Amino acid sequence: MSDAVEAYWAVAREACGLSGDVPQAWSFGSTPEMADRLLALVLAGVKTAGASQLWDYDASGDPLPQVGDLSVVLDGGAEPQALLRTTDVRVVPFDEVDAEHARLEGEGDLTLDYWRRVHEWFWTTYPEHDRGFSPSMPVVLERFEVLFTR
């Protein structure tokens, strides 16, 4: 845990009337540019949801997000920029992700077709597992709210 994340959590915790240990810190995407672009959508209020592969959680051993979880989102330079709270989590097959979720992710033209194209590309390009891509693979759909920004 970086000193910057700990300091950010201290300020956010006080501002939001929260308690507890420093939440997990992470960034969107797999490159600094993706992290900054997707974070900008969150900060603009356009992106209120995300998706990840269940198989990546299996491979990394990371726990699945739970409703109420807090997380500190980092920018492309690994600096904390936002505190999020998870408001909903569902696991569905890739080919059953719906248009509403695609719209809530706030990317591209907000369509399900765009969402499917981009996520298939991303999960084929940056997998943390060795199972490949499948239209029936399980996808973790997460909704969140911004509690605090820098």
**Six-digit token string for 23:** 């939440």
pTM higher than the cut 0.85: yes
pLDDT tens-digit series, residues 101-128: 999 999 999 999 999 999 999 999 988 8
CATH topology of domain 3-149: Sulfate adenylyltransferase (3.10.400)
74 and 20 Cβ atoms separated by less than 8 Å: no
Domain boundaries, the chain: 3-149
Amino acid identity, position 36 = D
Tens-digit pLDDT profile for residues 54-85: 999 998 899 999 999 999 999 999 999 999 99
| Alpha carbon separation from 116 to 72, 73, 76, 85, 121 (Å, rounded) | 27, 24, 24, 25, 8
Rounded (10°) CA dihedral 53, 149, 47, 78: -40
Residue 96 to residue 144: CA distance in whole angstroms: 20
Q: Are 103 and 110 in contact (CB under 8 A)?
A: yes
Q: Look up residue 134 and give its two tokens.
A: 């499948």
